[in-house]
Chains A and B, each alone.
Chain A
Amino acid sequence: DTAVSQTPKYLVTQMGNDKSIKCEQNLGHDTMYWYKQDSKKFLKIMFSYNNKELIINETVPNRFSPKSPDKAHLNLHINSLELGDSAVYFCASSQEERWTFFGQGTRLTVV
Protein backbone atom coordinates (compact mmCIF):
# COMPACT_ATOMS: atom_id res chain seq x y z
CA ASP A 1 0.00 0.00 0.00
CA THR A 2 2.67 2.44 -1.15
CA ALA A 3 1.57 6.04 -0.62
CA VAL A 4 3.45 7.67 -3.50
CA SER A 5 4.66 5.30 -6.18
CA GLN A 6 6.64 6.12 -9.28
CA THR A 7 7.83 4.01 -12.18
CA PRO A 8 10.29 3.09 -13.40
CA LYS A 9 12.75 2.99 -10.52
CA TYR A 10 15.73 3.01 -12.87
CA LEU A 11 15.93 4.39 -16.37
CA VAL A 12 19.00 4.25 -18.62
CA THR A 13 18.63 5.81 -22.04
CA GLN A 14 20.60 7.42 -24.81
CA MET A 15 20.91 11.10 -25.53
CA GLY A 16 18.17 12.43 -27.74
CA ASN A 17 15.55 9.92 -26.66
CA ASP A 18 12.16 10.80 -25.20
CA LYS A 19 11.10 9.17 -21.92
CA SER A 20 8.30 9.33 -19.38
CA ILE A 21 8.14 8.77 -15.64
CA LYS A 22 4.81 7.96 -14.03
CA CYS A 23 3.62 8.83 -10.55
CA GLU A 24 0.56 7.88 -8.57
CA GLN A 25 -0.50 8.70 -5.02
CA ASN A 26 -3.19 6.94 -3.01
CA LEU A 27 -3.26 9.41 -0.13
CA GLY A 28 -6.12 11.50 -1.48
CA HIS A 29 -3.83 14.54 -1.61
CA ASP A 30 -4.74 17.45 -3.83
CA THR A 31 -1.22 18.62 -4.69
CA MET A 32 1.55 16.74 -6.46
CA TYR A 33 5.11 17.70 -7.29
CA TRP A 34 8.16 16.74 -9.26
CA TYR A 35 11.56 17.32 -7.67
CA LYS A 36 15.02 16.79 -9.08
CA GLN A 37 17.91 15.66 -6.89
CA ASP A 38 21.34 16.23 -8.36
CA SER A 39 24.58 14.37 -7.67
CA LYS A 40 25.23 16.57 -4.64
CA LYS A 41 21.90 15.49 -3.15
CA PHE A 42 20.31 18.91 -3.55
CA LEU A 43 16.54 18.64 -3.97
CA LYS A 44 14.93 21.26 -6.14
CA ILE A 45 11.31 21.59 -7.14
CA MET A 46 10.44 21.46 -10.82
CA PHE A 47 6.63 21.50 -10.99
CA SER A 48 3.61 21.46 -8.75
CA TYR A 49 0.01 20.63 -9.63
CA ASN A 50 -3.03 21.29 -7.49
CA ASN A 51 -6.20 19.45 -8.57
CA LYS A 52 -4.73 18.95 -12.05
CA GLU A 53 -3.84 22.64 -12.39
CA LEU A 54 -0.22 23.77 -12.74
CA ILE A 55 0.64 26.10 -9.85
CA ILE A 56 4.44 26.03 -9.70
CA ASN A 57 6.67 25.94 -12.75
CA GLU A 58 10.26 26.61 -11.84
CA THR A 59 12.87 27.48 -14.43
CA VAL A 60 12.96 24.14 -16.18
CA PRO A 61 13.77 23.53 -19.87
CA ASN A 62 10.62 23.15 -21.92
CA ARG A 63 11.81 19.67 -22.87
CA PHE A 64 10.24 18.72 -19.52
CA SER A 65 6.47 18.55 -19.64
CA PRO A 66 4.32 17.41 -16.72
CA LYS A 67 0.88 15.94 -17.29
CA SER A 68 -1.79 15.38 -14.68
CA PRO A 69 -4.70 13.27 -15.98
CA ASP A 70 -6.35 13.37 -12.54
CA LYS A 71 -5.38 14.54 -9.09
CA ALA A 72 -3.93 11.15 -8.15
CA HIS A 73 -1.48 11.06 -11.06
CA LEU A 74 1.32 13.32 -12.23
CA ASN A 75 3.54 12.11 -15.04
CA LEU A 76 6.74 13.68 -16.32
CA HIS A 77 7.67 13.52 -19.98
CA ILE A 78 11.16 14.49 -21.10
CA ASN A 79 12.01 15.14 -24.73
CA SER A 80 15.43 15.06 -26.37
CA LEU A 81 17.26 13.84 -23.27
CA GLU A 82 20.65 15.37 -22.51
CA LEU A 83 23.56 14.14 -20.41
CA GLY A 84 22.84 16.86 -17.85
CA ASP A 85 19.37 15.44 -17.22
CA SER A 86 20.93 12.52 -15.36
CA ALA A 87 19.66 12.75 -11.80
CA VAL A 88 17.13 11.23 -9.44
CA TYR A 89 13.60 12.49 -9.99
CA PHE A 90 11.18 12.38 -7.08
CA CYS A 91 7.45 12.62 -7.21
CA ALA A 92 5.73 13.93 -4.07
CA SER A 93 2.29 14.85 -2.80
CA SER A 94 0.72 16.90 -0.05
CA GLN A 95 -2.71 17.91 1.17
CA GLU A 96 -3.35 21.67 1.32
CA GLU A 97 -0.67 23.23 3.47
CA ARG A 98 0.36 20.09 5.19
CA TRP A 99 3.36 17.84 4.92
CA THR A 100 4.91 16.56 1.76
CA PHE A 101 5.42 12.84 1.14
CA PHE A 102 7.89 11.51 -1.39
CA GLY A 103 8.07 8.53 -3.68
CA GLN A 104 11.15 6.32 -3.89
CA GLY A 105 12.63 8.15 -6.86
CA THR A 106 13.53 7.36 -10.46
CA ARG A 107 17.24 7.24 -11.16
CA LEU A 108 17.69 8.52 -14.70
CA THR A 109 20.99 7.97 -16.45
CA VAL A 110 21.51 9.45 -19.89
CA VAL A 111 24.40 7.95 -21.85
Chain B
Amino acid sequence: QKEVEQDPGPLSVPEGAIVSLNCTYSNSAFQYFMWYRQYSRKGPELLMYTYSSGNKEDGRFTAQVDKSSKYISLFIRDSQPSDSATYLCAMRAGGYQKVTFGTGTKLQVIP
Protein backbone atom coordinates (compact mmCIF):
# COMPACT_ATOMS: atom_id res chain seq x y z
CA GLN B 1 0.00 0.00 0.00
CA LYS B 2 1.30 3.45 -0.94
CA GLU B 3 1.69 5.98 1.85
CA VAL B 4 -0.46 8.46 -0.06
CA GLU B 5 -3.25 7.46 -2.41
CA GLN B 6 -4.76 9.82 -4.96
CA ASP B 7 -7.07 9.10 -7.86
CA PRO B 8 -5.16 10.01 -11.03
CA GLY B 9 -8.31 10.94 -12.96
CA PRO B 10 -8.61 12.52 -15.46
CA LEU B 11 -11.47 14.53 -14.07
CA SER B 12 -13.48 16.64 -16.51
CA VAL B 13 -15.97 19.22 -15.27
CA PRO B 14 -17.90 22.08 -16.89
CA GLU B 15 -16.86 25.63 -16.14
CA GLY B 16 -18.45 26.89 -12.93
CA ALA B 17 -18.67 23.46 -11.30
CA ILE B 18 -17.45 22.69 -7.79
CA VAL B 19 -14.47 20.37 -7.91
CA SER B 20 -13.56 17.98 -5.13
CA LEU B 21 -10.09 16.44 -5.06
CA ASN B 22 -9.11 13.93 -2.39
CA CYS B 23 -6.22 11.97 -0.93
CA THR B 24 -5.98 9.30 1.70
CA TYR B 25 -2.86 8.41 3.61
CA SER B 26 -1.63 5.74 5.97
CA ASN B 27 1.15 7.44 7.99
CA SER B 28 -0.34 8.88 11.17
CA ALA B 29 2.86 10.93 11.71
CA PHE B 30 1.95 13.31 8.88
CA GLN B 31 1.20 16.78 10.26
CA TYR B 32 1.69 19.17 7.35
CA PHE B 33 -0.60 18.92 4.38
CA MET B 34 -0.20 20.68 1.07
CA TRP B 35 -1.82 20.94 -2.30
CA TYR B 36 0.25 21.75 -5.35
CA ARG B 37 -0.95 22.70 -8.82
CA GLN B 38 1.20 21.70 -11.75
CA TYR B 39 0.62 23.00 -15.24
CA SER B 40 2.02 21.05 -18.15
CA ARG B 41 5.81 21.35 -18.38
CA LYS B 42 6.01 23.51 -15.26
CA GLY B 43 7.12 22.95 -11.69
CA PRO B 44 4.61 22.23 -8.90
CA GLU B 45 3.21 25.45 -7.47
CA LEU B 46 2.20 25.55 -3.81
CA LEU B 47 -1.53 26.25 -3.71
CA MET B 48 -2.76 25.56 -0.20
CA TYR B 49 -1.26 24.32 3.02
CA THR B 50 -2.65 23.33 6.40
CA TYR B 51 -1.19 22.12 9.65
CA SER B 52 -2.97 19.26 11.42
CA SER B 53 -6.76 18.92 11.14
CA GLY B 54 -9.16 21.63 10.07
CA ASN B 55 -10.22 23.79 7.16
CA LYS B 56 -8.49 26.58 5.34
CA GLU B 57 -10.03 28.84 2.74
CA ASP B 58 -8.30 31.03 0.17
CA GLY B 59 -10.50 32.61 -2.46
CA ARG B 60 -12.14 29.85 -4.49
CA PHE B 61 -10.05 27.16 -2.82
CA THR B 62 -10.79 25.30 0.42
CA ALA B 63 -8.51 22.68 1.93
CA GLN B 64 -9.79 20.23 4.52
CA VAL B 65 -7.85 17.81 6.66
CA ASP B 66 -9.42 15.04 8.70
CA LYS B 67 -6.60 13.33 10.57
CA SER B 68 -8.92 10.87 12.29
CA SER B 69 -9.91 9.48 8.89
CA LYS B 70 -6.50 10.15 7.29
CA TYR B 71 -8.27 12.00 4.52
CA ILE B 72 -7.62 15.37 2.92
CA SER B 73 -9.60 17.31 0.35
CA LEU B 74 -9.29 20.32 -1.90
CA PHE B 75 -12.44 22.05 -3.10
CA ILE B 76 -12.45 24.47 -6.00
CA ARG B 77 -15.54 26.63 -6.34
CA ASP B 78 -16.65 28.26 -9.60
CA SER B 79 -14.02 26.32 -11.51
CA GLN B 80 -12.39 28.08 -14.46
CA PRO B 81 -10.62 26.73 -17.57
CA SER B 82 -7.42 28.19 -16.11
CA ASP B 83 -7.77 25.69 -13.24
CA SER B 84 -7.05 22.88 -15.71
CA ALA B 85 -3.88 21.29 -14.37
CA THR B 86 -2.64 18.35 -12.35
CA TYR B 87 -3.26 18.69 -8.61
CA LEU B 88 -0.87 16.96 -6.26
CA CYS B 89 -1.50 16.39 -2.61
CA ALA B 90 1.59 16.29 -0.43
CA MET B 91 2.28 15.73 3.23
CA ARG B 92 5.09 15.42 5.71
CA ALA B 93 5.78 14.62 9.31
CA GLY B 94 7.55 17.10 11.58
CA GLY B 95 11.23 17.93 11.54
CA TYR B 96 13.30 17.55 8.40
CA GLN B 97 11.18 14.79 7.02
CA LYS B 98 10.65 14.33 3.33
CA VAL B 99 7.49 15.44 1.61
CA THR B 100 5.51 12.51 0.25
CA PHE B 101 3.38 13.20 -2.79
CA GLY B 102 0.26 11.63 -4.19
CA THR B 103 0.31 10.64 -7.83
CA GLY B 104 -1.69 13.71 -8.85
CA THR B 105 -5.18 14.18 -10.29
CA LYS B 106 -5.44 15.65 -13.75
CA LEU B 107 -8.30 18.16 -13.90
CA GLN B 108 -9.83 19.60 -17.05
CA VAL B 109 -12.37 22.41 -16.81
CA ILE B 110 -14.35 22.65 -20.00
CA PRO B 111 -15.59 26.11 -21.09
Contacts and interface: CB of A to CB of B under 8 A. Distances in A.
Nearest to B90: A100
A48 B98 CA distance: 8
A105 B44 CA distance: 9
Main SS of the interface on chain A? strand
A55 B96 contact: yes
A44 B8 CA distance: 16
Contacts, number: 56
Contact of A102 (B32, B43, B94): B43
B18 interface: no
Interface in B35-62: 36, 38, 41-46, 49
Interface residues of B, number: 25
A43 B44 contact: yes
A41 B104 contact: yes
Interface residues of A, number: 24
Given A102-B44, A103-B43, A45 B96 contact: no
B94 to A, nearest CB: 6
A97 interface: yes
Contacts of B104: 41-43
B96 A42 contact: no
A105 B46 contact: no
Nearest to A42: B103
Interface string A30-51: 0101000000111111001010
Interface in B68-111: 86, 88, 90, 92, 94-96, 98-101, 103-104
Interface of B: 8, 32, 34, 36, 38, 41-46, 49, 86, 88, 90, 92, 94-96, 98-101, 103-104
